[in-house]
Amino acid sequence: MSQVTGTAQSAVKGEKKVALITGANRGIGRQVAKELAQRGFIVLVGTRKLENASEAVAEIGENAHGLVIDVADQNSIKAAAERVKADFGRLDVLVNNAGLLHAGDPNRSLEEILGSGTALGASLDEVRTVWETNVFGQLATVQSFLPLLREAPSARIVNVSSGMGSLTLNADPAFPFRGGFGVVYGISKTALNAITLALAIELQDTNIRVEAASPGFTATALNNFQGTETVEEGSRNIVRAALGENDPAVLFSGPDGPFPW
């Protein structure tokens, strides 16, 4: 059963924009929620367990509410959408941030994780588990929340992607991260990019703008904190996308500008 912490009665429907960030109890998602709240949004801190959101909600303040949503569980997604509809009546921004780098031993180094995700060596069970969240879960979330996004005057869908998913970059032998392009994580982001483009084409004549945005190589629990950028730095492009501040002609961007598909 989906739950929202706090009460929607404190925010009369229509007074403030509402943003849902999945996987927002920590890392980039939490920072994005914090920054959108500072800009006047009601932010829904999406998390698989309500208790996981308590610290983030306390830090962000009165504009934040925890929302139970497990993007790998269709029933959880539907229940979350019903809860948001009942409490807020619409959704202005959906940030599909929840994601997995792998589904194996959490004590492995980043190099070991990427090394085990190669096309010839990857476990198909691990591929399926990661794709259930990174690909199918993202599309399922969009489909379930689409009616609420249609209720907003101008809505945005931001799919958190990665340069690791760029076919053009990885086809270049000079791309420094090319060796990590595997079928577990990297290609899951390629698939997410394709979904982003398909959604953008389908929704191009509506009130909903869709784009993929990469935070860059950010140090988070996703990569065992081996990234080179802080969560504050990593959140900037995601926040820009959520606010509609990126170039409207660009559907896939990184921290410093457009990324090639």
The average pLDDT across 55-75 equals 95
Q: Are 78 and 101 in contact (CB under 8 A)?
A: no
Give the per-residue pLDDT at 221: 55
The average pLDDT across 136-154 equals 98
Long-range pairs, 57-65, Cβ under 8 A, ≥24: 57/5, 57/6, 59/30, 59/34, 60/33, 60/34, 61/37, 62/6, 62/10, 63/11, 63/16, 63/37, 64/6, 64/33, 64/37, 65/4, 65/5, 65/6, 65/8
7 pLDDT above the threshold of 90: no
Going by pLDDT thresholds of 50, 70 and 90, the confidence category of residue 83 is: very high
Active-site residue (options: 16, 17, 85, 189): 189
Q: Are 86 and 3 in contact (CB under 8 A)?
A: no
Domains in the chain, start-ordered, CATH in brackets?
8-258 (3.40.50.720)
The average pLDDT across 164-180 equals 94
Over pLDDT 90: what percentage of the chain? 78
Give the per-residue pLDDT at 223: 53
- The reply to whether 189 belongs to the active site is yes
- Helix, coil or strand: residue 98: coil
- The reply to whether 185 belongs to the active site is yes
61 pLDDT above the threshold of 70: yes
